[in-house]
Amino acid sequence: MTDLYRIIRELVDERDKLDRIITSLEQMILSGETSAPVLKRRGRKSMDSAARKQVSERMKRYWAKRRGESNKTSEDPAQPGV
Lowest-pLDDT range, 1-5, 21-25, 34-38?
34-38
Give the pTM: 0.38
Q: What is the mean pLDDT of residues 6-22?
A: 95
Q: What is the mean pLDDT of residues 22-51?
A: 81
Give the chain's radius of gyration (CA, Å). 34
Of the chain, the end-to-end C-alpha distance in Å amounts to 83
State the CB neighbour count (10 A cutoff) for residue 45.
Answer: 6
Rounded Cα gap, residues 46 and 59, in angstroms: 18
Our CA dihedral for 13, 17, 23, 27, rounded to 10 degrees, sits at 150
Judge whether residue 27 has pLDDT over 60.
Answer: yes
pLDDT, averaged across the chain: 84
pLDDT reported for residue 30: 86
Q: What is the mean pLDDT of residues 16-43?
A: 82
